[in-house]
Structure 1
């Protein structure tokens, strides 16, 4: 006797429906904090807690996400790094600034922009991301990026797009190097290096005896941009953009990084290196998604809390 295919088909249908429900309704709202510890500080230095937020893709109605981001001030970070794609809707700026206020107003904060801080979201064929990165747009920017930048600066955040800044945190001097988004080719390493040179000129003969720790910041972790930061001595590079793959296959991982970064490094902590030097690389899976692709599977939305401490 031949078995009816109906029970198997029904089970397959129920499984597909469950995966769809989980990935579109449940998992993308399960915000979490991913924690790492790195031995990058000098002997005897006090630990430094770095909170990285990326890819909020915030829309005005996402009050739950806003409340969760505001609650991160309870972690009491020493530095907040915003790695771009904070905007997810043309009208999101007021809600975004409200979300970031408890952090930026009380904690040293730096930011770089991502492409979605220049361009509002559009529907795109998701399968195109599996073929090649969706790079330079041919349309005019429709996000008021200048107003976004000014709003972040009013909160106290420092614009690190193609720039550099030095800070002293808990007795440790840190130099932060930032690039604007390579995904839309707004990165300018020459401008960043000019800013770094200006920092050295300002210090003059007052250079600290202990070399500063250098952190690189960029939205999209394209290999060329990572190489530029590595060339300038970055010991830790923070990036976003990939959404961790957004949909990950258990046992396989991300299917795409939406850039030329190897998919094995599309989420979390790894090492980026060349023949002469190496740096830790943290790629945040981010806290959001496009409003036209409301899905996450095996890839919870996240913030990163990285504790820098003395080597043991």
Structure 2
């Protein structure tokens, strides 16, 4: 009798664990990855008397051509009336994903913007073992299929009018304020050329009201250098917020870079050499087509309202 009872208890436990696992998979794959949300923040960083500036931070769309629901949701964000857009890369998630990006971003035409690249703006994603992310940042896939990065850049610059700050710097005027921005290409692939930034920034001349540092992958070396170069706000993506998180936990399980896990999503503060600046890391809108899941980490954009000090 005791043996039979123990066997029944073990089967009940196994059945419960299995049901929870199936339920979590159904939620993460079938539901949460489509629960797009806008994360709102406020920062008091503008000169006294300045009008508020609404910054829409987009990241990691990983667009595939069949993802029409995602395309419609991104397009609807124009109704938020952002004053400027910061795009931290990984826009394309499939070799034919650019058409989806064109449809999603078309309503932003004429809104000032900045962008940098993630690796998937250049090369297609590939299947990976998700458990390897717990061992450190992912390795590069040799012989990955090339994306049409030139066509993406032509759309973002020529059609939308955005400024390319991949290992470069540029200026925008937004509501009468001059914003200087500098950025790097994907640091996860070691495409960042931080040594190019000081002369690029110097070429802009003095007189900026605000300075932004923009990166796809928020590696410490990049954030530290941006802080040293005088950035007033830092923007990053890449982490997907961990993509799968323990619900309500302040820390991601993984970040796929060396940023502290409690700073892998949302607004926080970055300190280097006694200087502290705001850092916003977007958990992003999408996911690799080979890992179609979000759990405890809804797909998102950030709407950051900058106000006078």
Question: TM > 0.5 between the two?
Answer: yes
Deviations 1:142-172 (A, max 9, x none): 1121121112112212111111111121122
Matches of 2:217 and 2:200 in 1, distance apart? 21
Return the offset for 1:92. 0.6
CA contact under 8 A between 1:50 and 1:78: conserved in structure 2?
Answer: yes
Residue of structure 1 equivalent to 2:230: 233
- Compute the displacement of 1:9 (Å): 2.6
Q: For 1:100-111, list aligned pairs within 5 A.
A: 100-103=105-108, 105-111=109-115
Q: Structure 1 stretch 136-145 or stretch 164-173: which is displaced more?
A: 136-145
Deviation at 1:179, TM superposition (A): 0.9
SS of match in other structure, 1:230: helix
For 1:282 and 1:131, locate their aligned partners in 2 and report how far apart those are by CA, in whole Å.
25
Residue aligning to 1:133: 137
TM-score, length basis structure 1:
0.93
Quote the RMSD (CA, aligned, Å). 1.4
User: 1:218 and 2:215 equivalent?
Assistant: yes
- Structure 2-normalised TM-score? 0.94
Alpha-carbon distance, 1:194 to partner: 2.1
Superposed displacement of residue 135, structure 1: 4.2
Is it true that 1:92 corresponds to 2:92 in the alignment? no
Aligned to 1:144: 148
Map of 2:265 onto structure 1? 267
SS in 2 for 1:199: coil
Q: Taking structure 1 as reference, are residues 85 and 272 closer, same or farther at Cα in structure 2, changes over 3 Å only?
A: same
Gaps of 5+ in 1: 201-206
Written as runs of structure 1 = structure 2, the 5 A alignment for 1:293-312 is 293-311=291-309
Aligned length: 302
Change beyond 3 A, Cα 1:141–1:227: farther
Structure 1 partner of 2:79: 74
Aligned partner of 2:244 among 242, 247, 266: 247
Moved over 6 A (4+): none
Is this contact kept in 2: 1:137–1:184, CA < 8 A? no
1:194 lines up with 2:192 in the alignment: no
Shift of 1:10: 2.3
1:86-110 CA deviation, whole Å, 9 max, x = no partner? 010011111111211111x120011
Shift of 1:63: 0.3
Native 8 Å contact 1:163 1:193 kept in 2: no
- 1:158-193, Cα deviation, whole Å (9 max, x unpaired): 111111111121122211111111011111122222
Q: C-alpha deviations, 1:233-285, integer Å up to 9, x for none?
A: 01110100000000001354311110010111110011111123111100000
Distance 2:287 2:178 in 1: 35
1:16 aligned residue: 21
